[in-house]
Amino acid sequence: MEQTFLMVKPDGTARGIVGEVISRIEAKGLKIVAMKMMEIDEGLAKRHYGEHEGKPFFADLVSFITSGPVVAMVVEGREAVNVCRALIGATDPKEAGPGTIRGDFGIDVGRNLVHGSDSLASAEREISLFFTPEEIIEYKRTDEDWLYEN
């Protein structure tokens, strides 16, 4: 099983779609093993978006992600990174397919509602930025035997 990082950004919390995002994650069969609502300070924002430092949009990313509360999650499941990326949809909501979170709720790339790790390495790094190991809970969903073959 993989773990990945997913975050409902300030525009998603302001628009009241946190429950919809959680619902889609759980309906897909993924397991939320850690979750918290929080405000991100500038230091954490810069570490989170560190790979974009020096790019023209870096300051805007930091400003936006610190503009309101977010809901950070650790999501677990088989191929969780790829499954979450498929649920989220393309970075630009105009290119995201119907049925994806961004495709159903977004219009502008700068307000694309959710962040999801794009690789296992990114997931590990992002999880460690937002959660301590003690905050990640191990448990079994009652439907896991029906979700996966072997």
Over pLDDT 70: what percentage of the chain? Answer: 100
From the number of C-beta atoms within 10 Å of its C-beta (0-12, 13-18, 19+), residue 77 rates as buried
- Give the pLDDT of residue 133: 97
- Give the pLDDT of residue 19: 98
From the number of C-beta atoms within 10 Å of its C-beta (0-12, 13-18, 19+), residue 133 rates as exposed
Mean pLDDT for 126-147 is 95
- Give the pLDDT of residue 150: 77
Any idea where the domains of the chain sit in the sequence?
Answer: 2-136
Phi, psi of 90 (to 5 degrees): -60, 150
The predicted-structure confidence for 64-123, as pLDDT tens digits, reads as follows 999 999 999 999 999 999 999 999 999 999 999 999 999 999 999 989 999 999 999 999
Coil, strand or helix at 149: coil
- Tell me, yes or no, if 115 is annotated catalytic: yes
Band of residue 149 on the pLDDT scale cut at 50, 70, 90: confident
Active-site annotation holder among 9, 31, 102, 115: 115
Q: Does domain 2-136 have CATH number 3.30.70.141?
A: yes
DSSP for 80-98 reads HHHHHHHHH--SSGGGSPT
